[in-house]
Structure 1
Amino acid sequence: MTQTGSYHVETIASNMEAEIERLKSQVDLFWDKEGKHYIEYGLKDGMSVIELGSGPGYLLEKLLVTFPHIHVTGLEIDPILFNYANANVASHEADRCQMVEGSIMDTKLNEGSFDFAITRLVLEHLPDPIGAIKEVFRILKPGGKAVFIDNDFEMHIMTHPHIFELRALYDAYCESRYAEGGNPKIGRELPRLLKQGGFSKIDFEVISAHSDIVGDEKFFKSEGIGIPSKLVQDGFLPSKVLGEISMKWRNMIRKDDHSMVRQLYMASGEKPQ
């Protein structure tokens, strides 16, 4: 299946296996707050739920553990990630979980099939996010809820002590994703995009993870060196800048009073009945 967008697990980082592990840690970093918000937005046990762009299936795992009677579908276009999720999640929960290989732009799924939809860190990689939102809207039941979560790289990880060069890293990342058709600053646009996609009762939250609460290790695992190294390799980031970031990062974490904070942007909407 032909992929579109700015995320491809084989090419976005310098090491694919490490990138898959990073995706797991990225779910772990925010799950406590994310899970609470899904419930606030209407997710209940026993519902039919779809995650579009489910990657290696780590969020599906969280949902299956948290809600013992839920039925989840994972939609994933990348064959490597699809096979990973199928082998490690769906095959162990065959009665409650299925994987579908397909595109969020045209899922081929029946209209009005799901009670709840989650699209996490996907829209930022798509040339046509409104088209994707309309497809999510289509496959929801009337009265169904959808949650869209994305980054906004105007702010990513902020540290104390401040590492000034991180701005150059995030600018390089944005340039790379823009060149591939993505929008890494889409987080601020989510409410407007959901409205254009047909949703009503729109809500918006910024959720944060702080190292003093979740611990340093989750931050370290959720970032890694793979994507920055690929930015250097592809000519978007000077190697000298990455070296300065690495040095200042090591110095930062040696400080007893160091801290790290990261945000995700979450918007919810309802399909009118």
Structure 2
Amino acid sequence: MSEQGSYQISTIASNVEKEINRLKAQVELFWDKECKHYIEFGLSDGMAIVESGSGPGFITEKILKRFPNVNITAVEIDPLLVDYARKYLSEQCLPNKYQVIQKSIMETDLPENSYDFAITRLVLEHLPNPVKAVREIVRILKPGGKAIFVDNDFEMHIMAYPNVTDLRELYNSYCQARYAEGGNPKIGRELPLILKEGGLSNVDFEVICAHSEVIGDEMFFKSEGLAIPSKLVHDGFLSSKVLGRISVEWRNMIKSEKHSIVRQLYMAVGEKLL
């Protein structure tokens, strides 16, 4: 099993460009509430931050715009995403206080006791050994530093009203595909224990919710898409008939005047003791 785990952008979706756009929308979907929790758990301007599994650079961008005096090291293993992030971030009007390095979260080669704050977002769920990744984050944190981990739990992913019944089959198929690659798409509920096993203390846990009545439908549409479901069909984890039924049910749900769409992320934070 590769250290890259069960998420590789060139194979997880049927279209890389669409998948990058989906990742950007997924950041937008939760950012306002997510950032409030980062601040609540200790993130402030001027800190040294490490973001592991930084992907296309969208969280790095958000943090630099919100906290212009931080210094961020963005760690990403996928060379395609490293190249994308470097180009994307260079095109934004950002403080020149970041670096993007191609390394594994399992072995960053960064100096120990170097960072005030660590963010690892939607990464642990794709790793065969998430505790090892947490231990590496603890190693590079300064004593007293905080580490935040954000992940999914596909037992409770998108929920809709009126109910889209076949979404459950879609998520079961997705889970089967990720389990087969060594990931754990239901890791959200396990985060506090994993952080403690990885060496963090004073662990806390939050659930972040996005609701269509609050932020509108459009961001949900952009943050989901068909690239991953289409790949599940191609790889034999999901039938095309089920995907067709989901598309019909989804359209009917949206047409309902009183429809609702809800999605959750799970956040755990811990501290490196002195």
CA distance in 2, matches of 1:265, 1:214: 19
Where do 4+ consecutive residues of structure 1 move more than 6 Å? Answer: none
State the secondary structure of the residue aligned to 2:35.
Answer: helix
CA distance in 1, matches of 2:20, 2:96: 25
1:241-260 superposed matches below 5 A? 241-260=242-261
2:25 is the counterpart of 1:63: no
RMSD: 1.0
User: Which residue is 2:6 aligned to?
Assistant: 6
CA distance in 2, matches of 1:9, 1:176: 14
For structure 1, the residue ranges without an aligned partner over 5 or more in a row are none
CA distance in 2, matches of 1:212, 1:59: 24
Give the deviation of 1:210 after TM superposition: 0.2
2:190 is the counterpart of 1:189: yes
CA distance in 2, matches of 1:39, 1:132: 23
CA distance in 1, matches of 2:270, 2:101: 24
User: Which residue is 1:134 aligned to?
Assistant: 135
User: Which residue is 2:264 aligned to?
Assistant: 263
1:79-228 superposed matches below 5 A? 79-90=79-90, 93=94, 95-228=96-229
Give the deviation of 1:259 after TM superposition: 0.8
CA distance in 2, matches of 1:209, 1:100: 31
Kept in 1: contact 2:3–2:127 (CA 8 A): no
2:61 is the counterpart of 1:23: no
Q: Give CA deviations for 1:222-243 in whole Å, capped at 9, x if unaligned.
A: 0000000000000000110000
Q: Give CA deviations for 1:110-148 in whole Å, capped at 9, x if unaligned.
A: 001100000000000000000000000000000000000
CA distance in 2, matches of 1:67, 1:91: 18
What amino acid is aligned across from residue 137 of structure 2 in structure 1? V
For structure 2, the residue ranges without an aligned partner over 5 or more in a row are none
CA distance in 2, matches of 1:71, 1:242: 44
Identity %: 63
Q: Structure 1's 91 and 98: CA in aligned 2 closer, same or farther, altered over 3 A? A: farther
Aligned residues: 272
Give the deviation of 1:88 after TM superposition: 1.1
CA distance in 2, matches of 1:94, 1:83: 19
Query: What TM-score does the superposition give when structure 2 sets the normalisation length?
Result: 0.98
State the secondary structure of the residue aligned to 1:68.
Answer: coil
Give the deviation of 1:91 after TM superposition: 6.6
Kept in 2: contact 1:79–1:101 (CA 8 A): yes
Give the deviation of 1:3 after TM superposition: 4.9
Kept in 1: contact 2:118–2:141 (CA 8 A): yes
1:42-81 superposed matches below 5 A? 42-81=42-81
Give the deviation of 1:90 after TM superposition: 4.8
Kept in 2: contact 1:90–1:99 (CA 8 A): no
Give the deviation of 1:95 after TM superposition: 2.6
CA distance in 1, matches of 2:171, 2:220: 16
CA distance in 1, matches of 2:91, 2:158: 35
Q: Give CA deviations for 1:15-65 in whole Å, capped at 9, x if unaligned.
A: 000000000000000000000000000000000111100000000110011
Give the deviation of 1:14 after TM superposition: 0.6
CA distance in 2, matches of 1:266, 1:113: 23
CA distance in 2, matches of 1:219, 1:232: 22
What amino acid is aligned across from residue 46 of structure 1 in structure 2? G
Query: What TM-score does the superposition give when structure 1 sets the normalisation length?
Result: 0.98
Give the deviation of 1:78 after TM superposition: 0.3
Kept in 2: contact 1:111–1:139 (CA 8 A): yes
CA distance in 1, matches of 2:170, 2:39: 35
